[in-house]
């Protein structure tokens, strides 16, 4: 398996980059975030990779961080989630935002990704929650019994027009009563207000 590639950025497009590694050009499908993080054409870069093998095709996917690569590889283990949907998910949600949405049982955020319906979002949460472990997520004070309150606050923020990524970030760091949706919502709105 190809774990990573180090080479020169030969070209960038909307959904992929070409990487020149010792005179061999690799076409890497990448998330929008990873593409944006690439240096200018001609500059050297190291990109983490995943080689996806099917009967009729080999596809190479590239990631700016190991965290994104791991999230991608976990997503494609979920029934009904292929590499294109996994890449679309990581284009819409950072690995941290995805992990937070899974920890909070946030079906609305995950199903807001193009190509993911409510049932697939529920399956992602069900199948990946144990693999991620809430303690690994950095979701301080918003885990365990706070799931219903967090989901309520998340739905309220989404209905106000905030993006799923903004909502995930705003819910972090809450230290109040775990089941108090109103207090959690106030905390998130303060954080969102401070970032504007």
Rounded average pLDDT per 10-residue block, the chain, 196 residues: 92 95 96 94 96 90 93 93 94 88 88 92 89 48 54 78 76 72 84 72
- H or E stretch covering 74: helix 66-75
Task: Take residue 155 and report the two structure tokens written for it.
Answer: 């739905």
Q: What CATH number does residue 15 fall under?
A: 2.40.50.140
* Same domain for 73 and 33: no
* Same domain for 73 and 52: no
Q: Which domain holds residue 175?
A: 67-194
Tell me the pairing of strands 4-12 and 44-54: antiparallel
* Same domain for 19 and 78: no
* Same domain for 113 and 99: yes
Query: ∠ at Cα 18 (16, 20), nearest 5°?
Result: 160
Q: CA 9 to CA 66: how far, in whole Å? A: 19
* Same domain for 71 and 23: no
Conformation bin of residue 173: beta by default, left when phi > 0, alpha when psi is -120 to 50: left
* Same domain for 161 and 72: yes
Look at the chain and count its residues: 196
Task: Take residue 67 and report the two structure tokens written for it.
Answer: 């965290």
Q: Domain boundary residue among 43, 64, 85? A: 64
Q: Domain boundary residue among 19, 48, 64? A: 64
* Same domain for 169 and 138: yes
* Same domain for 114 and 73: yes
pLDDT of residue 160: 82
* Same domain for 158 and 85: yes
For helices 147-159 and 181-194, give the axis angle rounded to 10 degrees.
Answer: 50
* Same domain for 60 and 103: no
User: In total, how many domains does the chain have?
Assistant: 2
pLDDT of residue 104: 83
Those residues whose C-beta lies under 8 Å from the C-beta of residue 144, and which sit 6 or more positions away, are 134, 178
Residue with structure tokens 């398996």? 1
* Same domain for 74 and 56: no
Half-sphere exposure of 69 toward its Cβ, with a 13 Å CA cutoff? Answer: 19
């Amino acid at each position: 398996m190809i774990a990573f590639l180090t080479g020169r950025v030969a070209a960038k497009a909307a959904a992929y980059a070409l990487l020149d590694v010792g005179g061999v050009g690799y076409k890497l499908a990448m998330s929008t975030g990873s593409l944006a993080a690439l240096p200018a054409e001609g500059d050297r870069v190291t990109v983490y990779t995943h080689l996806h093998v099917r009967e009729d095709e080999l596809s190479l996917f590239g990631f700016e961080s190991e965290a994104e690569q791991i999230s991608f590889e976990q997503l494609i283990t979920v029934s009904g989630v292929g590499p294109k949907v996994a890449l679309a998910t990581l284009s819409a949600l950072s690995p941290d935002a995805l992990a937070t949405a899974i920890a909070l049982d946030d079906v609305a955020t995950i199903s807001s990704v193009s190509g993911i319906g409510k049932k697939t979002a529920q399956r992602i949460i069900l199948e990946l929650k144990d693999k991620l472990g809430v303690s690994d997520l950095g979701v301080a004070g918003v885990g365990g019994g706070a799931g219903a309150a967090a989901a309520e606050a998340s739905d309220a923020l989404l209905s106000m027009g905030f993006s799923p990524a903004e909502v995930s970030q705003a819910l972090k760091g809450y230290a109040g009563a775990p089941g108090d949706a109103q207090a959690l919502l106030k905390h998130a709105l303060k954080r969102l207000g401070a970032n504007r």
